Structure formats: C-alpha cells, structure tokens
C-alpha cells in the first residue's frame, strides 16, 4: 500500500489512525484528503467559505491564508496531499457539481 485518503471522522481519530497506519507500513504512506474548504470540511478544524465566496472578496491574500492554514492543519495530523484548491471553471450556472466550488 502506498497511501490512504482521509474522509470524515474527527481530528483526534484521524491523527491516531494515520499514526497507526504509518507504523504498519513498510514504506511511509502518502496521506491525502479532499480539503477544498479547509480541514473542517471533513475532519474538523477550520471551515472556510466556499471558493466562490472567497473569490468575491477579490483579496488574493485571503485565498493564500486559507491555503496556508489548511496546509498547516492538515500536516499537523499527518495529511501530506490536499485535493485543493478546485480549479474547475464555473462555465455552466446549472451545473450542481462545480457551482460555488469554483473561484
């Protein structure tokens, strides 16, 4: 096994699960998670506004800070790979999948 993905649970449970999985692994695992809106989206921690709301501020520094905080929180519990930010383009306002997830 080369990696795992974390979806759901809480900060403490994920931290200890990841630590245990790493102890079982012959080689260090890559741990990933879908953190489009921060660690709070699935696991607990900071939950940020949607990407569309972030873009509406027109403040790139806020988007940078969101990424920095999300990365810091993720790394603190053992997550190395974030599936974020979403780089889809909302070119169809009726698309229920991309919608407010796009900048």
* pLDDT value, residue 65: 96
* Three state DSSP letters for 24-76: HCCCCCEEEECCCCCHHHCCCCCCCCCHHHHHHCCCHHHHHHHHHHHHHHHHH
What is the model's pLDDT at position 40? Answer: 93
* pLDDT, tens digit (0-9, with 9 covering 90-100), for 27-80: 999 999 999 999 999 999 999 999 999 999 999 999 999 999 999 999 999 999
- Report the pLDDT value the prediction gives residue 68, as an integer from 0 to 100: 96
Domain containing 25 equals 3-101
Q: How many domains does the chain have?
A: 1
**Gyration radius (Cα) of the chain, Å:** 15
Q: What is the pLDDT of residue 34?
A: 92
The pTM of this model reads 0.88
């Amino acid at each position: 096994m080369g990696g795992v993905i974390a979806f759901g649970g809480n900060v403490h449970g994920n931290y200890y699960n990841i630590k245990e999985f790493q102890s079982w692994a012959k080689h260090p695992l890559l741990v990933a998670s879908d953190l489009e809106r921060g660690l709070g989206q699935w696991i607990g921690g900071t939950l940020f506004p949607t990407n569309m709301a972030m873009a509406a501020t027109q403040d790139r520094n806020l988007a940078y800070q969101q990424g920095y905080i999300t990365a810091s929180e993720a790394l603190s519990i053992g997550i190395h790979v974030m599936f974020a930010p979403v780089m889809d383009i909302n070119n169809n306002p009726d698309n229920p999948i991309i919608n407010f997830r796009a900048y």
